Amino acid sequence: MERLLVGLQPKRVLKHFESLTRIPRESGNEREVSDFLVKFAKDLGLEVIQEECLNVIINKPATKGYENGPRVILQGHMDIVCVKREGLEFDFTKDPIPIVLDGDMIRTEGTTLGADNGIALAMTMAILESKELDHPPLTGFFTVSEETGMDGVINLNPSNISGDILINIDSEEEGSALSSCAGGVNNIVHLPIQWKEVKGDKEAYKLSIKGLLGGHSGMEIDKNRGNAIKLLGRLLDGIDRNMDIEAAHISGGEKMNAIPKMADVIIVTDKSKEGTLRGLIEEYQSIFSNEFETSDPHIKLYIDRTEKPKKVFSEKTKKSLIKILRLLPNGVQTMSANIEGLVESSNNLGVLLTEENEVVFNSAVRSSVKTLKDEINNRIQIICDSQDAVMKLVGDYPEWEYKANSPIRDLMVNVYRDMYGEELQIDAIHAGLECGLLKEKVGDIDMISIGPNIYDVHTPDEHLSISSTDRVFKFLCEVLKSIK
């Protein structure tokens, strides 16, 4: 297959990044990329450990004169969020990501790019194979299933890794170094379904909401983008209040940590009510278009006749479904009083599924304050108690608290100023990073997170700046040269 990134800088980084776009890396399907990294290390003659969970740890000795320096861990995750444009025929289990060049940007043809977090792997690989760069002892640490609950860090054997400094390369904004992040948990609500048979001369319709921008549920949660699942709940509630309907199947979203771009439901009603139903769809189209004129200008409601189902939700199940959809917290819950502009706590209802005997609501709860994370979960539990639903928490990970004394942060500030004549901004982020869990596993070592400009992460519009990647890579190399 022809390589598109040949000749672009940073040469080695982009070479590895393009290779990674050809390897399946969806969360839970990391065997091939894990083996790829192991082979990479062995070909270089470097010490490598592949854990049972498929984490990969590669150790490289210090260069001459740096033998007594602190060990630096360069860390990123192998897995990517696999989202594609609706209607695109693409199989993330086998198809290479279709990258394209657009000026300074690397884009795709309708899929996520995987720069989150493939760029961390590519930068670290370029450093591990370099024979010119001066550096202290290094460890490349690549985790699995970060996007679905940080399972790689959770299953890390601490005896396999040690270090004094950890540089996480999972940030998405050049010129900003992160020193704190939110903790989170996957909140899953299970609503049991009572079924009943469809009776009478009725017609079935599929109602859909599409065209929303979606986005990363940490990075874009404050941008007032519509949540297709929540809006579908509002639409369904409005219709149910105005006419007699039954519901048979409902679904929406793709990943719990991505803002849902689409959702749909199958409803059944008397044939004579089609005009009323279409009128309500038009009314809510006008309402949603007005409310999201700026943040989601392409929102569109659809109604299509569909095959009539043999069974539908009971009235009790339908009412409980609507109430849960309407009441589940979503979006920003609190803003930080300490850091201007920082979202403090939020919830994203990311996936809605109808299974054989239950409807499942899958949310990503985030907060930089543990008690506020607990508060959101407690509110959801109250909703569940009122509707005979069951709540389960999966993949709970801690927040990464700001540390007043950080030599690596001070060093980066000085190096950045010397290189670019600008101040490196020190920030906190509402997205989850692996640093909080890593502190529990490898100890309270000095940590920081950096990365190049990556845009529209977790969407089919994800794209990566080439020039930013070059600058951040040079900065990282200079930082390593300065650590003795």
- Residues marked active site are found at 79, 146
DSSP H/E element including 293: none
User: Please, what is the Cα angle at 198 between 196 and 202, to 5 degrees?
Assistant: 155
Q: Which of 472, 454, 471 is closest to 463 using CA atoms? A: 454
Q: What is the DSSP string of 241-291?
A: HHS--EEEEEEE-S-TTEE---EEEEEEEEGGGHHHHHHHHHHHHHHHHHH
Q: Which of 396, 423, 393, 400 is closest to 410 using CA atoms? A: 423
Strand partners, 348: 364
Alpha-carbon distance of 334 to 344, in angstroms, equals 5
The alpha carbons of the chain give a radius of gyration, in whole angstroms, of 24
Q: Which of 206, 223, 231 is closest to 285 using CA atoms? A: 231
Alpha-carbon distance of 411 to 276, in angstroms, equals 66
* CB contact at 8 A, 297 and 194: no
* CB contact at 8 A, 42 and 110: no
Maximum CA pair distance of the chain? 84
